[in-house]
């Protein structure tokens, strides 16, 4: 856990995150999450691919970005492990299908978000932004490869979870929430290079990735519009709302320093991709 002196311990939001860090300190079979050593507002997590799906046997690692208003505002999830269901390096935030993101409830937690992510993995991507519609075979291959995937910060992630398998114990509220959950991909203005249309090719063709690495921040401005088109096409699909988030200025990443670190991250991640 980050050194306590760094934060205003009187702030309920900071106390809450400290509390969650203690609550989640022990890994379970399904998930493990912990704050970065130097930043209580950024966590890394690992989830086990849900059994009896094409993600079975896979370990999926990612970042959780907490807005300064947490828990009044929802956490954002970014997957780092190639998985064939969600694009990597793209914010996904929790929502409730058919409603606006402010239906996030402060009584939910990082644990709730991870359970929702696991529950949502086997659902159809339906070609919306942030989603990937890989075939089950491709996802199985990625699931197998994920065992040896390493996070530049956390190292090998497959051994972060407890070995045994069991169903998660959910509270009543969590179960009812999971029935209505939707995930919402978010277009981050600072992260436009993680372009949706290039992701699948990038995974299969390393050459593309190398090129992206060289010019990570010069993607066309109309990227956002692609997203809106996708979400327009998506309107007739019931229950699953994967909509592009309009704007992110109320989300945490405002300081230049953080953005710089994100740039560093993205480069590191793409190098991983190439190696992969």
Distances (CA, A) of 190 to 38, 253, 263, 270: 22, 9, 9, 16
62 neighbors 44 (Cβ within 8 angstroms): yes
* Shortest spacing between CB 42 and another protein, in angstroms: 19
Please provide the DSSP assignment of 90-122 as one string.
Answer: -EEEEEETTS-GGG--TT--HHHHHHHHHHHTT
Judge residue 228's burial from the number of C-beta atoms within 10 Å of its C-beta, 0-12 exposed, 13-18 middle, 19 or more buried: middle
- Residue 273 Cβ vs another protein, minimum distance, rounded to whole Å: 27
Q: Which residues bind another protein (CB under 8 A)?
A: 11-13, 15-16, 19-20, 23, 69, 71-72, 96, 99, 102-109, 111-112, 171-174, 176-177, 189, 222, 224-225, 228-229, 231-233, 235, 246-247, 249-250
| Token pair 């914010």: residue | 91
How far apart, in Å, are the Cα atoms of 55 and each of 50, 67, 120, 154, 242?
6, 29, 12, 21, 20
Which CB sits closer to another protein, 10 or 163? 10
CB of 129 to another protein, least distance (A): 13
Contact indicator for 33, 114 with CB cutoff of 8 Å = yes
Helix axes 110-120, 12-23, angle to 10 degrees: 60
State the residue for tokens 């190398």. 210
Q: Residue 220, by phi and psi: left (phi above 0), alpha (psi -120 to 50) or beta?
A: beta
Spatial CA neighbour of 46 closest among 200, 203, 156? 156
CB of 255 to another protein, least distance (A): 19
Minimum CB distance to another protein smaller for 135 or for 229: 229
Cis peptide, bond prior to residue 71, ω within 30 of zero: yes
Q: In terms of CB distance, is 148 or 229 closer to another protein?
A: 229
- Residues identified as active-site: 93
**Cβ-based nearer residue to another protein, 23 or 211:** 23
Shortest Cβ distance from residue 74 to another protein (Å)? 10
Least Cβ distance, residue 64 to another protein (angstroms): 16
Q: 155 or 221: whose CB is closer to another protein? A: 221
CB 112 within 8 A of CB 70: no
Q: Which is nearer to another protein, 163 or 235 (CB)?
A: 235
Cα 123 to Cα 142: distance, rounded to the nearest angstrom: 17
């Amino acid at each position: 856990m980050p050194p306590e002196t760094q934060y205003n311990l009187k702030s309920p939001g900071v106390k809450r995150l400290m509390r969650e860090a203690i609550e989640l300190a022990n890994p379970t079979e399904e998930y493990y999450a912990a704050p970065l050593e130097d930043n209580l507002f950024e966590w890394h997590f690992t989830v086990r691919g849900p059994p009896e799906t094409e993600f079975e046997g896979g370990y999926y690692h990612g970042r959780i970005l907490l807005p300064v208003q947490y828990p009044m505002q929802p956490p954002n999830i970014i997957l780092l492990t190639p998985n064939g269901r969600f694009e990597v390096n793209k914010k996904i935030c929790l929502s409730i299908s058919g409603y606006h993101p402010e239906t996030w409830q402060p009584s939910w937690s990082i644990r709730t978000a991870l359970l929702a992510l696991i529950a949502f993995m086997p659902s159809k991507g339906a070609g919306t932004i942030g989603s990937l519609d890989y075939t089950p075979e491709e996802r199985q291959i990625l699931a197998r490869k994920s065992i040896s995937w390493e996070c530049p910060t956390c190292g090998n992630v497959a051994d972060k979870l407890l070995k045994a398998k069991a169903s998660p114990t959910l509270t009543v509220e969590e179960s009812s929430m999971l029935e209505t959950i939707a995930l919402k991909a978010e277009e981050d203005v600072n992260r436009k290079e993680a372009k949706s249309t290039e992701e699948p090719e990038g995974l299969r063709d390393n050459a593309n990735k190398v090129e992206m690495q060289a010019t990570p921040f010069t993607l066309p401005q109309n990227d956002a519009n692609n997203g809106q088109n996708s979400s327009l096409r998506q309107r007739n699909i019931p229950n699953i709302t994967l909509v592009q988030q309009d704007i992110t200025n109320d989300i945490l990443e405002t300081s230049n320093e953080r953005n710089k670190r994100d740039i560093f991250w993205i480069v590191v991640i793409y190098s991983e991709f190439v190696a992969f």
